[in-house]
Chain A
Amino acid sequence: MFRLSIVTPDKVVYDSDIRSLVVPGVDGYLGVLSQHAPLITALRPGHIEFRDADDKVHLLAVSNGFMEVSQNVATLLADAVEIAEEIDLDRARTALENAKANLAKAVTGELDVDATEIRDAMERANNRIRIHERSH
């Protein structure tokens, strides 16, 4: 068992002991178990999966963030986290449509925005839709 705290700029999402954890590191998913070596990593949009003290599996969507593991404490700082069951599918779909529309406009030069920004938005929306589907 080790401690996991998930904190976003507006609240503490989770703070309790857990058994195992999988997070989306920038270079791919990585697993964390008790007594993991000290680690600092950047995260990319994806899903967080962890097994709590009662062996219940939790699934969350995460946007960009960081995680530090040291002395059996995993601290996860994320811009935004959503519990899979609470993901608003309609909103995610709208966000995806908007991003696609913006991308089309950016290609024709109608809208002056950074393409990477749109791609990130699409990735975040797709990620949320995927996780929602997995949990239902």
Chain B
Amino acid sequence: MRTSQPEPTAQSRSIISPNDLHRASVRLTLGTSRVLILASLLLASLGPFVWLFKASISTTQDTIRHPYGWFPSGTRWDNLSTAWHQVDVSRYILNSAVMTIGEIAVSLVVTVTLAYALAILRPAWGPIVYGAVLATLFIPVAVAMVPLFMTISDLPLLHTSLVSSYWSVWLPAGANAFNVLIMKRFMDDFPREILEAASVDGAGPLRTLWHVVLPLAKPMVVVEAVLVMMAAWKDYLWPSLALQEPDMQPISVALPRVAENAELSVQMAAMFIALVIPLLVFLVFHRQLLRGASLSGALKG
């Protein structure tokens, strides 16, 4: 099946040409700058990861006295299990997982249905709704924090409070204009002939959505799921306001409290555990994530 990917075409050439590469001075400069930048990237990007891992299996004294020492008092793998069991990191990780899965589900339902309505069904009122959604892109998120908190404390019409319920993080996560935008743009490019054909075969809009559009949209669904997952795992300010019960808090919100109460070695172990999951997700899905990240640029440009 043909899907039209908005992927940039393969580059034929870039700034430096094969001709330049014949010159020794160019090759030398390129080579040394490559080594230098690789070294500084390794130091700046990978260094803190390695240091955190080392600190998470060192004693507190070693980390404070000899930040760059090679385990003067030996390794302490039990820091990790202490963090996991005694300061409840296992519970917070589970909470983060619950929060993340719910956010992915709500986001995907909202995004796919709204994008399908706007891009494929194209009702007359579509552009108005689309404009109102896009307008929220330019509204500073943080400025909306206080009224949003008031809204979930006393929901309009229903007059119930969502505070200290996971719905208070799941539902607002669905109102993400960027996700709607990239999904709608993706569906805009679907070949109309296939949709027409489905229609001629007697498939209604819902069957078309399920059997034709969703399979075509799968690559973008994966991109969005990964983006939402990473964002949910990173979120701090909103869940710290909406989930005030310590037992419900995700790892990001709980970590500063753990940091205040546990000794440094256990704190480092807890931080390392909190980092492993997004790191693994990134290493598995880095293609999708980097594509999502550069898509955000495509819309800005």
**A interacts with B:** no
Chain A residues with CB under 8 Å of chain B are none
